[in-house]
Amino acid sequence: MSQDDPRSRDRSQPVPRDPRYGLEEALDGELPAEMVERMLRHTDDCPECAEEWEQVRRIKELVRRSCADRAPSELRERITVQCRTVSVTRTEADGSTVRITRTSTVRRDYPAP
């Protein structure tokens, strides 16, 4: 076994973690306040972690905002009317080509948000 093999690791020593571990949980309010405060104090002295914190915070904010926005009515109407076209092209034994196209439109009613 090599020294990188997890089976050869000294079990009394803590396993090193990715420094970003818990970042999303901290931003989501899922960690104890004192742990989040300790993480924030660390970002005061660590520009790399501060940048990572800010990037994840921005991404989470963008996702939160985009999920809260209501789609324009034109887009909602296009989604409500679902069109489906299926085309099949087949070559016959005599070498001729036959193309069959079928289009169906289904209107779906979705509950208002």
Give the separation between CA 29 and CA 36, rounded to whole angstroms.
8
pTM of the model: 0.45
Query: Around Cβ 89, how many Cβ atoms within 10 Å?
Result: 9
At residue 34, the pLDDT reads: 93
| Single-letter amino acid, residue 95 | G
pLDDT for the residue 50: 93
Domain that holds residue 92: 75-106
34 & 54 share domain: yes
Residues of the chain short of pLDDT 50, as ranges, are 1-6
**What integer pLDDT is reported at residue 90 of this predicted model?**
87
Q: Which helix (H) or strand (E) holds 86?
A: strand 81-91
Number of H helices, E strands in the chain: 4, 2
Residues 42 and 81 in one domain: no
